[in-house]
Structure 1
Amino acid sequence: MKYIKCLILAVVLFGAVSCSVDRVPETQLSDATFWLSENDLNSAANYLYTFLPSIPLYEDNMSIDGFAVEPNSISNGTRTVPNWDDYYTNSYKLIRAACNIIAKAPKAVSAGIDPGIVNKYVAEAKFFRAWAYYNLVKRYGDVILVTTPLASDAKELTAARTNREIVYDTIYADLDFAATNLQLPTVMGAANYGRISRTAVWAVESRAALFAGTWNKFHNMGEWRKHLERSKNAAEKIMQSGEHSLYTGGYFNLYQYQAEGMNNKENVMVRRYGSNDADIISYHNVPMAMVSGGVINPTKYLVDAYLMKDGLPIDKSPLYKTPDSIIQVFDNRDKRLSETVMKRGDNFSLTAKFVVSTHSTGYTYRKFVIQEDMGKSRSYIDYTIIRYAEVLLNYAEAKYELDGGISDADLNRTINLLRDRGEVAHLTNAFATANALNLREEIRRERRVELSMEGFRYWDLLRWKTAEVELPRPVLGAYFFKEEYLALGYAWNPNVNAGNFIMPESGDMRTFIPQRDYLWPLPLTELSMNPNLVQNPNWN
């Protein structure tokens, strides 16, 4: 019976598969016996959680803050129009499943299920539909908008793209419903940790609205203030809720098992992986991939962005001394640098200490490197999709962009809380003026270092319209102390530039076309199936 139930669920949720904007047939033999209990609704909603993103191991390689062992075609501008795009397809699979729940879950009321319980599962479905549409718009701009299960002859199967502002209206409406009908984390309790809470809804609203508002502002695309007001207000609700706070167990430990669970109030939205081999939800291999595989390595640009302890950049601070060894890069710096990038003597396995990096940039990431998981093919460390730190950063940026400035009081409850755990001097308006610092750039710097290697930088460059300046530069790594490498027993001979900095990719191999590369190309298979679907500009 359990097997039959799972098979029925798959048919109910997946429907027919013929194109990304797909239909779920209006008549299913299973519908008459399915949407009748809370267990049915819970099972249907659980499927949506399988679409939560995994640890963004590669996304910072799309910016210039990370580099793998070979060039990234998105970062260096060499990608072409794909035949298919799994992200596009999977996003519409999620939308299709969410629409199916939204349309059919109310049947459970007639079966005696409390309407409040039904609304909870509809709210989860609307949250996931909003999540999918936000991520589609972020990549492709205008997209096809579908809000109901589609019949086999539905006109939406060959619809044109909907203006992104209308899509955002749908996103906000879905999130408003979700926030009204879902509970706060403390009310949900530990048994429901990992399910979408009211604060997670507000956090996604803050993220999505910040993207929309800054995109419109810097790309001169029209109304932007309403989006930034939404972003600020959503972040403010979380800040005033008392549900969340920054983790006090150390920045490095945020990415270790000890920071898992709802006792860590910094966790807002989480993809859970389980606990061990006996308690598996799913698993990944991020620790080994980073250290042994070198799938992402920090660049000089990211390392240089970390402030000195006095709150000044390296080109302004009297504390900065040109390093004469690899480890001196970390001297007098924001503590988060040494908790993000490996240095000699750091533990990286149960039996070994880190010595030096011979990966592409000469730097190695520390985040998500877990001693007990090194040397194994699997890790169960959860991925915190949204941390409270991001909420604070969203508030500070939205506030600054709306008002053209930010008060010291708002800096103290956002940016300076993050600087405290990096043991960095506070940012104030007077400090910025005295040291010729640009407050916007300092807020953006804080976002860059706090959220490094968590999949934000590339998208931030797009929404700020600075990718055309940042991405075409040569990829640079650490200064190459050749004699130090030899003394440690490493005869590494990487490519270096005239300044003796490791250069895994030169600038003449990189390009960014502003008229094309701020939006992603639609896959050819989708264009071939829908004559009304128009490709994004200049993608031939």
Structure 2
Amino acid sequence: MKSFIKHITLGVAVLVGVSACDVNRLPETNISDATFWRSEADLKSASNYLYTFLPVFNRDDNWSDDAFGLASNNVSDGSRLAPSTDNDNYNIPYNLIRAANNIIEKAPRAEAAGQTAIDRYVAEARFFRAWGYFLLVQKYGSVPLILKTLDDASPELYSAAAPREEIYQQIYQDLDFAASKLPTPTTLGNADYGRISNTAALAFKARVALFEGTRAKFHNYGTPNSHLTLAVAAAKAVIDSKQHDLFANYFNLFQYEGEGRQNRENIIVRQYGVSATERVSTHAYYRSTLENGNLSPTKSLADSYLMTDGLPTSKSPLYKTPVVSLDVFANRDERMGATIMKRGDAYMGTKLIFDVAPLVFNKTGFTFRKYSNVDDWVTQNSTMDRVVLRYAEVLLTYAEAKFELEGQISDADLDISVNLLRNRAKVATLSNAFVATNGLDMREELRRERRVELAQEGFRYWDLIRWKTAETELPKPVLGNYFFRDEFGTSVTVNLTPQNYILVQDVSFRKFDAERDYLWPIPINEISLNSNLKQNPKW
């Protein structure tokens, strides 16, 4: 199922013969490719390189109120400065765009491959070009829009930033082309599992359109309904395709049991090594990030999980003040115990069973559980895939976009979207009558559902940005678990609130400038190289 990963380096030399030193200088590869671009195999091997840009395991949730690391995060607490360079966030997306442009331009040379094959790999390239531009516009807003390979004399090297709406229209055009030319997941089958499908293009379009539609709505600019309409249509197209459904076990989604074509929930994954003996690409996410405390859940995230009756802890008669750490998980949404470690869970090679988070590492007193695996902890060479986009997100996108577009959502639409997720989590279903009877707010419940379903998957920060709630949520103090003295012990000194919760970062160290922090700073060196680039406000 991971067979194409073995060959992912074959086309790299064709695409990366240039330095990635600055963002606008996007010349063609300096490797002669006169003998390349002749067959379908050439197109496929060139396209393989694009997959290396899919996101790896990371600590992006530390930017939000869902997680905290071993030290404060300068995005989360508002203390960062404009960088001189930013390879990860600014240059690398343009490297991807350059590689995609190269394929789009040169694939037609492979006449022997036939038009269908040419269209397919151009479609993959256009998907990844859209991916690269969304990474950029999401962070920086307006950026230069480069749609061809450049040489040293190209005037586009000094392009001004294109309007964000123009960039979004290009993204949609690329994804529409990709959706029309790429195979279905069924056609890809086991042999090509991991390659981009037509439903992947539609699902990503839904993600992009929801982001911009809600951002435009709550930041009061542009035409939000045009984007929300696209989000609803793209998400519904994925639903109607019948190519995907939910995996039965939420925890196993993020284990080896959830890998491969047999899991129809996964739409895009970052594939790692083929096996323990074929370690083409591996990671140590569990040991180096989760168990070591570089990414730990907050009280804010833990509190967002509902009781099984569908009510928050503040309203549910099922909620009891916890006496021991295991009580925190009693009568809760099953996703909580699948996402956050609890007493009795499998832990690590030197301590097989978890009891309580070690505060010297997990500063919040909580430990994330997704992707935890004792054998991977021991080997530090995991080949477990990273889920990048799954069907659950499509269902959440459909429900939220529908609500924000129409100001309401029917029970029928809830039943084909978020209630499927709640059924899996063994939580009471959501309906308009349930919301009204219990004094809830539908928008907040849809947002809560998104938060808990996608926890630890890198969405929360961007949700706060698009909803324009970062200015409210991020300046709050970071709190952790209740301090169960008999379990945590007293060997580590911790700060506590008057209510006996672990105080991880005081409110005095946290800020968010609403006039500045909804956009990221363009690296200073890029502005120096291109005088037509302008810095974002207040940076």
Please tell me the TM-score bracket, short chain as reference: over 0.9
Q: Quote the residue 1:272 is aligned against.
A: 271
- Relative to the length of structure 2, the TM-score reads 0.95
- 1:297 & 1:503 partners in 2: Cα distance? 14
Contact 1:345 / 1:355 at 8 angstroms: preserved in 2?
A: yes
**Structure 2 residue 504 is matched with structure 1 residue 473:** no
Q: Quote the residue 2:452 is aligned against.
A: 449
Q: Following superposition, which runs of at least 4 residues in structure 1 exceed 3 angstroms of deviation?
A: 5-9, 11-18
Contact 1:14 / 1:24 at 8 angstroms: preserved in 2?
A: no
1:135 shift after superposition: 1.0
- 1:46 & 1:68 partners in 2: Cα distance? 33
Contact 2:14 / 2:46 at 8 angstroms: preserved in 1?
A: no
**Structure 2 residue 168 is matched with structure 1 residue 165:** no
- 1:382 & 1:315 partners in 2: Cα distance? 37
Alignment of 1:360-439 (within 5 A): 360-439=363-442
Which residue type is aligned with residue 390 of structure 2?
Answer: R
Paired residue secondary structure (2:268): strand
Q: Quote the residue 1:149 is aligned against.
A: 149
- 1:252 & 1:535 partners in 2: Cα distance? 43
- 2:463 & 2:9 partners in 1: Cα distance? 40
Cα displacement string for residues 317-363 of structure 1 (whole angstroms, at most 9, x for unaligned residues):
11111111111011111111111111111111356100111220011
- 1:443 & 1:270 partners in 2: Cα distance? 25
**Structure 2 residue 47 is matched with structure 1 residue 59:** no
1:310 shift after superposition: 0.5
Contact 2:178 / 2:198 at 8 angstroms: preserved in 1?
A: yes
Which residue type is aligned with residue 43 of structure 1?
Answer: S
| Change beyond 3 A, Cα 1:472–1:9 | closer
Contact 2:203 / 2:238 at 8 angstroms: preserved in 1?
A: yes
Paired residue secondary structure (1:122): helix
Which residue type is aligned with residue 316 of structure 1?
Answer: K
Cα displacement string for residues 154-174 of structure 1 (whole angstroms, at most 9, x for unaligned residues):
111111100000000100010
| Change beyond 3 A, Cα 1:106–1:352 | same
| Change beyond 3 A, Cα 1:344–1:12 | closer
Q: Quote the residue 1:502 is aligned against.
A: 502
RMSD of the alignment, in Å? 1.6
1:429 shift after superposition: 0.3
| Change beyond 3 A, Cα 1:7–1:176 | closer
- 2:226 & 2:507 partners in 1: Cα distance? 39
Q: Quote the residue 2:344 is aligned against.
A: 345
- 2:332 & 2:256 partners in 1: Cα distance? 26
Q: Quote the residue 1:34 is aligned against.
A: 36
Which residue type is aligned with residue 45 of structure 1?
Answer: S
Alignment of 1:88-487 (within 5 A): 88-109=90-111, 112-248=112-248, 250-349=249-348, 352-357=352-357, 358=359, 359-486=362-489
Cα displacement string for residues 215-234 of structure 1 (whole angstroms, at most 9, x for unaligned residues):
10000012011111111111
- 1:320 & 1:434 partners in 2: Cα distance? 19
1:520 shift after superposition: 0.4
Paired residue secondary structure (1:386): strand
Contact 2:11 / 2:42 at 8 angstroms: preserved in 1?
A: no
1:375 shift after superposition: 2.2
Contact 1:290 / 1:364 at 8 angstroms: preserved in 2?
A: no
Contact 1:22 / 1:92 at 8 angstroms: preserved in 2?
A: no
1:485 shift after superposition: 2.8
Paired residue secondary structure (1:20): coil
1:12 shift after superposition: 4.6
Aligned length: 527
Q: Quote the residue 1:81 is aligned against.
A: 82
1:422 shift after superposition: 1.2
Identity value in percent: 50
- 1:24 & 1:43 partners in 2: Cα distance? 21
Which residue type is aligned with residue 293 of structure 2?
Answer: G
Contact 1:472 / 1:510 at 8 angstroms: preserved in 2?
A: yes
- 1:338 & 1:7 partners in 2: Cα distance? 42
1:483 shift after superposition: 3.0
- Relative to the length of structure 1, the TM-score reads 0.95
Which residue type is aligned with residue 53 of structure 1?
Answer: P
| Change beyond 3 A, Cα 1:175–1:6 | closer
- 2:113 & 2:36 partners in 1: Cα distance? 13
**Structure 2 residue 41 is matched with structure 1 residue 50:** no
Which residue type is aligned with residue 159 of structure 1?
Answer: S
